[in-house]
Structure 1
Amino acid sequence: MSKLQCISPIDGSLYVERDLASASEIKAALAKAERAQQAWKHTPLAERVAIGRQAIAAFAAREEQLAEELCWMMGRPIRYAAGEIRGFVERASHMADIAESALADIRLPDKPGFTRFIRREPLGVALVIAPWNYPYLTAVNAVMPALLAGNAVLLKHSAQTPLCAERMVAAFAEAGLPDGVFQYLHLSHADTEQLIQAPAIQHVSFTGSVAGGAMVERAAAGRFISVGLELGGKDPAYVRADADLAHAVATTIDGAFFNSGQSCCGIERIYVHESLFEAFVEQAVALVKHYKLGRSDDPETTLGPLVRAEAADFVRRQINEAVAQGAVAHIDPARFALDRPGSAYLAPQVLTGVYHGMRVMTEESFGPVVGIQKVKDDEEALALMNDSPFGLTAAIFSNDEAAALALAERVEAGTVFLNRCDYLDPALAWTGVKNSGRGCSLSSLGYEHLTRAKSFHFKTQL
């Protein structure tokens, strides 16, 4: 039987090993999910929500353990790892809070002699495919509302974070979720593709690369099932002339380098009005120099390794190409002793003299590097912000809310922030445009993608 191996980016050691599911195990899980969903969808919503809340509590009670496992599996510094557990609780709790209103029947105006309403029915069995970079946060976006809506869920996590799937399923089992309603499978890419084609699967939620999203669409083609795709981005920030400079620097730099830049909605390019450009760069560089690159299990570390050495070398090549094309690198990698070619440990980098002919300004980096480009006005900034195949989030920094709103309405992105970045408010729809994907999770709209509308038209007077 084939094995799944999680190699820790901290020291290259084997951290977790699991057997991949066999064909018979996959078939059994599907059959079990279908049977369980038939009863689960008829379970009163209040009971489903109560079980969900108990699962949240069971999950939160293991915060310290879960944070340490995250640290070792994907390399987030231990000082920050527990934040993802708390984020999971926030999102799951919000989706539980709004379930009754979001799933309520839609009542139409009275029409004499008729009863008319629209009901939201669960789709059936949902497959959630989650990535390693925010393994709990990305998974909960779909898992919690799918379950509360009455679906059964199969969770396939990244090979880098297999324990996350196991821990989530265990929390719901502890809460009393009926057996079979929520299961995990450790799968190969080929088996994942075949699973999408299984007749029992009625929804796929995928978070990952554009290539991975294309695979999901190919596998689901002709099945007429709903597919939600969150495929990353090259998210921009624009610092207007009237911005609070210190706040803009602190916020965008954190947005660019948190999680070592391994965030689909992290800031990857910054456009700064020419009147603030020099001061912005000076303060940004000074701030980045204070990062401590080190082992993720060291409480003093503020910048951990990338998930794999290959990922770090990819970013190194982007940086080196940009410098060869005329960019200026402001951080000497020698300041960060662990940085060396072929290592997952990569020094942060700030680049100026950049333009959109460079890969580092157009191609997703997913690492600790950011390019800062000078602009003369809103129109130039807007053109550059929209000059991307991605459109997940964008951030504007300004003290003029009306001007920012007028600009935000023209930005091609699923979410536009003012004076913040890199955050998901679970009350808002999480969605993207262009190569950042399609579909929607979180908010009341997220439930729409995990249910189907069924109309009831009763003639009550003959």
Structure 2
Amino acid sequence: MTTPTPPSGRGNGMHHRHIYLDGTWTASTSHTVIDVIEPATEQVIGSVPSGTPQDVDAAVRAARRAFPGWSDTPAQRRCAYLREVADALERRGPHLAELIAREVGTPVGFARIAQVGLAVLAFRTAAEVGASYPYEHGQANSLVLREPFGVVGAITPWNYPLYQVAAKAAYALAAGNTVVLKPSEVAPLSVWELAAVMDEVGLPAGVFNLVGGLGPVVGEALAAHPDVDFVSFTGSTEVGRQVSRTAAATVKRVGLELGGKSPTVLLPDADPADVVPRAVAAAFLNNGQTCCALTRLVVPRDRKEEVERAAAKAAEATRVGDPLDPATQLGPLVSAAQRDRVRGHVQRAQEQGATLVTGGVEPPEDQPCGYYVRPTVLSDVTTAMDVQHEEVFGPVLVIECYDDEEEAVELANATPYGLAAAVWSADRDRALAVARRIRAGQVEVNGGGFNPRAPFGGYKQSGNGREHGVFGLEEFLEVKSVQL
């Protein structure tokens, strides 16, 4: 096989040889590195150290030493650091957006808005909430205190590499915890940039520590470490179970933000011409690699053909291409393994009786290299099919049909997950009534916008705990009552 030639003008690779430990860039005890592959070109664009349990132990010891001083630092001062981090990330915004587009495959325009913009917003919101939060209050003859846990181990995914770190680290730090971070080895380069920012703003030594490496090595050591007080994990449900099992040995607190198979419910009075293009866009967010992507379209049976036509038109109009091209709407998946997994889901769905409306397993045209998948719509999907209840994590939307509103709610809830959902109706109150019956952590009504201060998390096997806003801060605070 001929090695693809990368497009010109993509710059040199970023090869990191150090982890960030106790306020300094330190050589890992490992002598091996993990290569980072650009999914659009299949070329190595960087590397990071493949850390060890010894690295984790050193980072945890540093975080433990730093904890008393950091937790005693006034909240306003802690949060001032976070605002400085937000400002520094914002200044680096164009560079970070391009870097994430290259390591994840996210279209650069969306990377600028979501991958970087939401990370900046998370640091600013955490600073605002943390500086104003009432950490103690009286209750009868008791003083109720909210105190940091201690050392937080954060394990984050590749699909939103910077934003998911911000969702954990910003709030943990605002609350007075110290942090040891293990980012995904698949897309770690933007996180090394964040560590450089932490160093640049003068965060005290040991407050934030970064150890790269593989989940079964570094992630396992972090979850098992007896001096880690809280583990916050975002990733697949399967790995989340393993993190919980490992952490259980020391009875530490665990927060999990896991997978999803989220429905968009189109009620009979909603207009498919208006809703379906939005539903397709919601399913294909970040190339379909979003835990809360709305990947199931639940529609009235007598509107099925109309919905199929609208979905095919929207999917086929989606511009597939180089993520660095501002016109691109759908880039490649993050890896060859992810591409093959998604294509396997599409193939198996058809074997199980689903109808291919558009897309399929063949590579998109005009893409000689890269981990691309055609934007795909499947119809006649039932609860007996794997694609209905298994997370695909690619640009694949499935259409399911119902006969009455009761069945629509049953279908919406017919999943082991409960992370997100959407309901559309010409009658807002009717949509809200259905939204109340859906077992999911966040539900959009008629396209309600994202609220960065609202709690984010899931029901059922989508995890436990909540991120963002006041709930996100309280996730990292222990409760103490002092009787007076």
Fold-level similarity (TM above 0.5): yes
Task: Say which of 50, 74, 81 aligns to 2:104.
Answer: 74
Aligned to 2:85: 55
Aligned to 1:65: 95
Aligned to 1:322: 349
Tell me by how many angstroms 1:254 deviates. Answer: 0.7
SS, match of residue 21 in structure 1: coil
Cα distance in structure 2, aligned partners of 1:121 and 1:335: 52
Is 1:91 aligned to 2:119, yes or no?
Answer: no
Tell me by how many angstroms 1:117 deviates. Answer: 1.6
Matches within 5 A, 1:413-424: 413-420=440-447, 424=450
How many equivalent residue pairs?
A: 451
More moved, 91-100 vs 36-45? 91-100
Aligned to 2:137: 106
Aligned to 1:200: 227
Matches within 5 A, 1:394-413: 394-413=421-440
Is 1:121 aligned to 2:147, yes or no?
Answer: yes
Aligned to 2:364: 336
Matches within 5 A, 1:306-317: 306-317=333-344
Change (3 A) 1:102 1:281: farther
Change (3 A) 1:250 1:102: farther
Is 1:280 aligned to 2:307, yes or no?
Answer: yes
Cα distance in structure 2, aligned partners of 1:4 and 1:335: 27
Matches within 5 A, 1:333-372: 336-338=364-366, 344-372=371-399
Cα distance in structure 1, aligned partners of 2:231 and 2:363: 45
Residues 52 and 217 of structure 2 are in contact (CA less than 8 Å); yes or no, is this contact kept in structure 1? no
Tell me by how many angstroms 1:321 deviates. Answer: 2.1
Change (3 A) 1:102 1:399: farther
Tell me by how many angstroms 1:339 deviates. Answer: 6.5
SS, match of residue 285 in structure 1: helix
Task: Say which of 236, 246, 267 aligns to 1:219.
Answer: 246
SS, match of residue 267 in structure 1: coil
Aligned to 1:435: 461
Question: 1:61-82 deviations in whole A, cap 9, x for unaligned?
Answer: 1001101110111111123211
Tell me by how many angstroms 1:167 deviates. Answer: 1.7
Cα distance in structure 2, aligned partners of 1:196 and 1:324: 40
SS, match of residue 33 in structure 1: helix
Cα distance in structure 2, aligned partners of 1:86 and 1:23: 33
Is 1:271 aligned to 2:298, yes or no?
Answer: yes
Contiguous gaps of at least 5 residues in structure 1: none
More moved, 425-434 vs 18-27? 18-27
Aligned to 1:18: 48
Cα distance in structure 1, aligned partners of 2:354 and 2:370: 23
Is 1:38 aligned to 2:68, yes or no?
Answer: yes
Contiguous gaps of at least 5 residues in structure 2: 1-30
Change (3 A) 1:2 1:443: same
Tell me by how many angstroms 1:226 deviates. Answer: 1.0
Tell me by how many angstroms 1:299 deviates. Answer: 2.6
Residues 210 and 232 of structure 1 are in contact (CA less than 8 Å); yes or no, is this contact kept in structure 2? yes
Is 1:295 aligned to 2:322, yes or no?
Answer: yes
Change (3 A) 1:335 1:151: closer
Tell me by how many angstroms 1:51 deviates. Answer: 1.1
Cα distance in structure 1, aligned partners of 2:56 and 2:245: 20
Residues 157 and 164 of structure 1 are in contact (CA less than 8 Å); yes or no, is this contact kept in structure 2? no
Cα distance in structure 2, aligned partners of 1:452 and 1:157: 25
Is 1:2 aligned to 2:32, yes or no?
Answer: yes
More moved, 264-273 vs 189-198? 189-198
Change (3 A) 1:370 1:289: same
AA paired with 2:376? Q
Aligned to 2:187: 161
Question: 1:13-72 deviations in whole A, cap 9, x for unaligned?
Answer: 111112223444333222211111110111111111111111100111100110111011
AA paired with 2:64? E
Tell me by how many angstroms 1:351 deviates. Answer: 1.2
AA paired with 2:95? Q
Tell me by how many angstroms 1:387 deviates. Answer: 0.9
Tell me by how many angstroms 1:274 deviates. Answer: 3.3
Aligned to 1:248: 275
Tell me by how many angstroms 1:416 deviates. Answer: 1.4
Residues 272 and 375 of structure 1 are in contact (CA less than 8 Å); yes or no, is this contact kept in structure 2? yes
More moved, 201-210 vs 222-231? 222-231
Cα distance in structure 1, aligned partners of 2:269 and 2:132: 41
Cα distance in structure 1, aligned partners of 2:110 and 2:396: 19
Cα distance in structure 2, aligned partners of 1:190 and 1:373: 41
More moved, 56-65 vs 25-34? 25-34
Change (3 A) 1:360 1:449: same
Cα distance in structure 2, aligned partners of 1:258 and 1:430: 17
Aligned to 2:478: 452
Matches within 5 A, 1:230-249: 230-249=257-276
Change (3 A) 1:365 1:255: same
Residues 312 and 343 of structure 1 are in contact (CA less than 8 Å); yes or no, is this contact kept in structure 2? no
Cα distance in structure 1, aligned partners of 2:78 and 2:437: 41
Residues 339 and 346 of structure 1 are in contact (CA less than 8 Å); yes or no, is this contact kept in structure 2? no
Tell me by how many angstroms 1:383 deviates. Answer: 0.8
Task: Give the TM-score normalised by structure 2.
Answer: 0.89
AA paired with 2:118? G
